[in-house]
Amino acid sequence: MKKEIEFMLNEEKVIVEVEPHWTLLHLLRETLELTGAKEGCGVGECGACTVIVEGDAVNSCLYPVMEIEGKTVTTIEGLAKPDGTLHPLQQSFIENNGVQCGYCTSGMIMSAKALLDKNADPTENEIRTSISGNICRCTGYVQIVESIKHAAGSMKNTQAAQNGK
Amino acid sequence: MKGCDYYKPETVGDASRLMASLDGARYIAGGTDVMVLIKQKKLSPAHLISLRNIRELSLLDTSDGLSIGSGVTHSRIVRDAWIRDRYSALVDATQKIGSPQVRNVATVAGNICNAAPSADTACPLLVLDAKIRIAGKKGERIVAIEDFFLGPNRTILEQGEIVTAIAIPKLDENSGSAYIKHTRRKAMELPLVGIAARITLDAADRAPGWKESLRNAPNAEALPGMLEAAGIVCRDVRIAMGVVSPKPMRARKAEAALEGKVVSEALLDEIGALAASESQPRDSFRGEAWYRKDMVQVLVRRAVLMSIERIVNA
């Protein structure tokens, strides 16, 4: 039996009918056609489905859709500006070769964003911990860690420039 | 995943009543175990009763020891500096469970209710003398963590009962604890062996500054000799072992051997060997029994020393 839920998705209010047994990932991909979050393992081991709920990175493949009622959800689709300007993390992954096949990338970026939103100046160890639930089978992680480091740096510079104005 | 209804009660009473009135219902909290079981078709509940919206379960109360509401996630424990200082072993365990994504939703209570022999929080809770508060039809009952587990994925919880909180008593000022999760990789891993220890150093008739003098240990290996020279006695010794038997267990012989004694190299070897003799690990694809036994010996020594280091560095 379908139920109607309401929540904030990428800064827009969404009212949508769901089956109570769905996961958040199912709603995103199959109903809302936001296919940035991937289903890798489907059981919380790979992190390809990572999205941010109320500021925290979560596996959307294990998140009961009924629990997002009234909550704030951010997916990879919500990162670029409406004019197409990429988020510093997205830009940095491109510039630092943090992407190979791309399947893990959305999840990697969302885990990194959850970190940088809370900690603008993370250590390498904190960066590695933040993506410890995201598996990449191509890059060996070095370029990904570099991408996140550079993004943190450029976000700090932007922030400093804004504060200086 | 087959269709099932999803309920979001806001009180423990409502949750219990729902459970009693519905056929084939199952509680769900963080869902990182339950959702996986459903997806793997090992579980097919007709109804899911969520415990996530019950406000009283999300409380962390530090007014008398530590009370961890059953809705408290691992991430909340990891972030809490007050808990880190006092109940270090629990933080050691919660910060290594699963992934950040899992820790953000999975609860400590869920970890023990799932009752995997490898449950990381079980050993710390055993050495910290935790008590489990359980609400059921007949009212509340409180059970020592040691009596909570029955075997792999089996606990004393009866149909419809809800764990409401985990209560940990206040520890002596000169107490320290540690949990070592022995793994092949650094993250996203279950322990091959998990060892927790808790020690109180008997500071009665110690001159002020006794801690500072031990802080000068050049490394952990020098600590036993310094403790022996200082003649400081260990009290309230607790050692717990995970993945070495069907359920997490205390190493009682090892504990008894250290209780009231001064730590020394010889004694550390002895308690390690005793704990290994008490363990009954089995071969599995993760690791072989002989190796697990060897690691018990090594890690018991290490966890005891880590606990003591934390006392002197506090």
* Nearest residue in B to A62, CA atom: B35
B163 with B181, same domain? no
Range of the structural domain that residue B199 is part of:
175-313
pLDDT at A77 exceeding the cut of 80: yes
Q: CB distance B3–A66 less than 8 Å?
A: no
- Closest residue of chain A to B39, computed from CA coordinates: A43
How many A-B residue pairs are in contact by the CB < 8 A criterion? Answer: 86
User: What's the pLDDT score for residue B14?
Assistant: 96
State mean pLDDT over B31-42: 94
Q: B263 and B150, same structural domain?
A: no
CA distances from B111 to B29, B63, B103 (A): 10, 24, 11
Residue B220 phi, psi dihedral angles, 5° rounding: -60, -30
Answer yes or no: do B309 and B186 share one domain.
Answer: yes
pLDDT, residue A58, reads: 98
Cross-chain Cβ contact B8/A62 below 8 Å: no
Report yes or no: B26 at the A interface, CB cutoff 8 Å. Answer: no
In order of their start, the domains of chain A are 3-78 (3.10.20.30), 88-164 (1.10.150.120)
Contacts of A1 in chain B (CB under 8 A): 5
Q: CATH number, domain at B67?
A: 3.30.465.10
Query: What CATH number is attached to the domain comprising B14?
Result: 3.30.43.10
The answer on pLDDT for B216 being more than 80 is no
Same domain, yes or no: B161 and B226: no
Question: Which residue, of B138, B168, B198, is where some domain finishes?
Answer: B168
Asked if B85 and B119 sit in the same domain, the reply is yes
Which of A59, A67, A135 is the closest to B102 by Cβ? A59
Q: What is the mean pLDDT of residues B93-120?
A: 97
How many whole angstroms separate alpha carbon B280 and alpha carbon B293? Answer: 8
Q: Quote ipTM for the complex.
A: 0.96
Chain B, nearest residue to A52 by Cα: B101
Count CB neighbours of A1 within 10 A: 6
Q: Residue A165 has what pLDDT?
A: 63
Give yes or no for a contact between B64 and B95, defined as CB atoms under 8 angstroms apart.
no
pLDDT band at B210 (very low <50, low <70, confident <90, very high): confident
> What is the spatial distance between Cα B147 and Cα B155, in angstroms, rounded to a whole number?
9
Residue B68 clears pLDDT 60, i.e. is over it: yes
| Chain A residues touching B39 at Cβ < 8 A | 42-43
Partner-chain contact A59 B101, CB within 8 Å: yes
Distances (CA, A) of B119 to B43, B95, B157, B230, B285: 20, 13, 17, 37, 17
| Per-residue confidence band for B137, with pLDDT thresholds at 50, 70 and 90 | confident
pLDDT, average across residues B69-86:
97
Residues 6 or more apart from A127 whose CB is under 8 A from it? A112, A115, A145, A148, A149, A152
Q: Return the CATH number at B187.
A: 3.30.390.50
Q: CA A128, B182, B271: angle at the middle one, nearest 5?
A: 145
Name the phi and psi angles at A7, rounded to 5: -155, 170
User: Is B1 in CB contact (< 8 Å) with chain A?
Assistant: yes
**CB–CB contact A133 B75 (8 Å):** no
B32 and A CB contact within 8 Å: yes
In the predicted model, what is the mean pLDDT of chain B?
Answer: 94
Rounded CA gap, A81 and A142, in Å? 27
* pLDDT tens, residue by residue, A28-53: 999 999 999 999 999 999 999 999 99
Query: Which of B101, B181, B185, B189 is most worth mutating to test chain A (most A CB atoms within 10 A of its CB)?
Result: B101
